[in-house]
Structure 1
Amino acid sequence: MSSRRATNKIQKAAWCRGFAFIGTFYPVALYAGDTVRQSTSPLFTGDWLTLALLTGLIASLILLAYVYWRSRQRLAKLRQQQQALNGIMWGTSAGSWEWNVKTDELHLNERWAEMLGYTLEELAPVTIGTWERLCHPEDLERARQALSAHVDGSAETYTVEFRLSHRDGRYIWVYSRGRVLARDPEGAPLLMAGIHIDIDARKEAETQARVSHERLTKLSARLPGTIYQFWRGVDGSMSFPYASEGMTEVYGITPEEANRDVNQVFAIIHHDDLASVSASIEASTDKLTLWSEIFRVHHPVKGLCWIEGNAVPERLEDGSTMWHGYLRDITESHELQKERDAYRESLEKSNAELEHFAYAASHDLRQPLRMVTSYAGLLKRHLGAQLDADGQTMLHYMSDGAKRMDDMLLSLLEYSRVGRQGEAFTEVALRKTLDEALHFLAPAVAEANATIRVEGEWPATRASHDEMTRLFQNLIGNALKYHAADAPVEVRIDCRRREEEFYITVADNGIGIDPDQIPRLFKVFQRLHGRDQFEGTGVGLAVCRKIVEHHEGHIWITSPGRGEGSVVHFTLPERAVEAS
């Protein structure tokens, strides 16, 4: 019912009561005046009659004023209530409706029409047919069923959500609530009233949440594990509020079973791992640190399985803790890792034995080799004058072979020592090790009349000082050795930071390398040139590779081809340097 209609009704009732009072009191005054007029007493004749009539009229007017004052008070109170109601309606953005069931007439407020992009004048005349026309066809029958349930008494109120057509062509969701206000003697509804609230934003959020949930469910169903939430109360009680379908794969228990009874999960954890799992949960609870554990479970179908779990804890307002995490079966990878570990241990043992053999061989074989060299020299001095040309040649080959064998043993000894008996990694200034290498190579640099350019940024890192010096010495030494006789030697050494590593290059303008031969360069005793061209044992680059790999780096060589120079590239990880 509108405010104007209620106000008019109160005003009409007030005037009717006032005139009723006048109509009742004024005849009484006239009767009293007539009685006085018929009295024989002279005191009640003449002006006294007029006075009595005026007194009755004044009393009636006073009574009328009182009635009017009371009606104004009621009207003011009604307006206050109406203003409060309007405020509530405005605050809730609700549209109000009043339905005269007999005439099908609908009385709406402006907000009802505004929700649909209309004004009341544009919708007029408004009947129940207007609402039926605007209601989405798929929702109309459901709304009618809710109305019937309220009318026949099955539901206390009429409550339903449906879509209404907006002026711009789209549909918006509204929440409708109302009730019957008046019925006829037979119980048929006469008047209903209620509200409409725009819930389109809420419905959109629900749709997005449903889509997100469906997407998460679909994603989690395809993961080789389970996404879960684990809750632990202040009193020690525990539960799984949520777990994806992968819970069955991991534990052999459905998410619903885990939610009902968390003890089913702990019952299948291997008894040797249960204490560790419980302790890690306690530690994560106390310090809110990441929970991470690898443990065994007795899966009812797959048997003994290895499980890896990781979860992030969150402290809730009531003091309880909620973990959001992921569990997966790592049995296959765990067994594979065990095989890898066993193979690595075997390989490390084999490598250690080989390195020991190489060290022992290169060290111990030099003793008899020195004897061969010594006696070859004695033989040359003792029989030198008596030997013919062939004898002299054979003695020369014997001495030269012994010397080359000794050089090879020394190179093999150097190779075996890399990373085996070296110094511990410490803070090393790479530029300092480079300068030391250049100092040792100063005679070779002068002999080759070489130009050495050092560029880039040279930081400090954790490494072996001696091995870094030997690495630079071997690389720069090769650049000085393998050059054309008729060309000036130029060597450029550069260092740069690249992501989380140092990238170092040693470039020269030397004889270059056939790209097909590059894979042979880092193998032990592999030479690309004859000894009559360049001296060496073919171990230098193998030593360089072993040094770089000992520092967890990578080394390679590039060259456009013969006569076009070459570049040695290697990387070293950027290790943090301890503060002094």
Structure 2
Amino acid sequence: MLTTDPDYYAVASGGLSADDVPPLTASPECDAVTRLARVHFGVAAALVTLSDGHGPRLQAADGALPGALPPDLFARSVRVGKALDTVVVIPDTRDDSRFFIDPQGVAAKWPRFFATCALTAADGRHMGALCLLDDAFRTFDEGQRAFLRDLAVLAAQALVRAHKDTALRDRVAELEADQELTMLALTGSGTGVWDRNVVTGEIHYSPAWKAILGYEPHELSNRIEDAYQRLHPDDLEHVKATMQAHFENRTDTYAVEHRIRCKDGTYRWICSRGKVVSRDRDGHARRMVGTTTDITASRELAAQLQQTIGLITNLTDEVPGLVFQYRESADGHGFFSYTSDGIRDIYEVTPEQVAQSAGPIEALIDPRDAAAYRQSLVESAANLTPWHLEYRVRLPRQGLCWRQGDARPQRMPDGGTLWHGFITDSTERKRIEAELHELATIDHLTQLPNRRHFMIQSEAELVRVRRGDSLGAAVLMLDLDHFKALNDRWGHALGDRALSHFARLLRLEVREGDIVGRLGGEEFAAVLPETDTDAAIALGRRVQRRAAETPLIHGDNRIALAVSIGIDRMLATDVGAYQSLARGDSALYLAKERGRNRIEIYHE
């Protein structure tokens, strides 16, 4: 965990505390980058900071948020005109002069490891940094540096798009305000008004209407035939049909968007609205008035916004895993208001299947993890704490898989909760962890617990004996007789086969719950819970008999194995399990001394 001392980064960041940083609009893309960075590099925290004249500002973070923001080393280098590598890795900040308080020369409190990569726009403009923080000393190889640069490129692209999105949203707001003012002006002054005499075929335009198309007030004819000639050929029939429908009283008003040719020959998009204000006694339209609004800019802006949405969607769809937005109402009903295309691999469902209810996903959670999955969401919603969970799912195509979910919640005005998060496939990592655990606990030759794991299990049984939870436990030390001679005569390969063969025979005789392991060489041990000395002797004899009756086959040779056994019992007064094993070993030594293939009981 990172230290969160309020004075943590006081000098390095110019005294700007993380609490002083103004809140920024959330960026799901930057959040995804920080999560990827923290998980991939295994650090305590990953941050994306923005650089401006007042110091770094936090844009996204994953992990333990420090008490203040780290320094932007690249911003300093830009100010002094000194080039700096885009990736800076500081294995130990205590050895770096940039992390000391200059006036007093006293070391500032700082995470021991610090790595950062500059975020640079396409035009070379410095935007900020992607930072990794950890309390452990560590180094980066070239592959790690390259991956950090790749993540920084993704973050920089996300920031550029975020800036463009902000500008577009501002532009939309300006256009909406302009449109409202224009409508007020039209209402008060008649600007942009047209007036059509349906009977005579004449149409009159206000000067502002003509200005939309670039004409002067004295230009343009009043004939409706000329007006139709200005319509874009692809829109002409649609405009006429819409107009006719209103003439025939099939619609309350006339409203249509279409293209119209300007004086310079170009086309602009306009929105025409109107209404018949006079009809004859038979209901036929006589006069119609309306307004025209130039919507070319809003059309272009809508296209740009759609393109931006497409870019963001493509980015989230390309990120391995599932980027999601999950909503849960106060009564517990949940649904996914947004999912990236990765949901098809993570859960084997489509975005449409979970847009109304999260039920299809909850049905896929392995029953062993269903309660923990539900409880983790309840606690995250209640305390507004980040959601983090590893859980299993059962999928129709992929079978049993592991998933890791991370999300940040926020309270909605209606009392519900909204999570923005990311779910990854952790199946392969879990498989590797299981293999590593097996390698650390299992003897590869015999597939029995190795000495270390056997001792851990034996110590646990001794604790039960001390508490009185067990009637007692017997300890057997077993050693294959004449094993060195077997190796010398037949070779080590057959010796290994003999050890594996005996391990299988031993497993056939012990019960479920008995503790059996290989201590090394040809020496084995067993701890038998709830077992007295007589039962232990009986087990030892069965093992000897099975070894004699089940020889090892080597070509035409049948090699019978013999085993010497020493027996003792665990005592509540034993300091550790090793004491009873040592006594059993003494009994085993006596069995060897008295002729081998024997069972001896330990006696003081």
- TM class by shorter chain equals 0.3 to 0.5
TM-score by length of 1: 0.41
TM-score by length of 2: 0.40
Structure with greater proportional helix content: 1
Greater Rg over alpha carbons, structure:
1
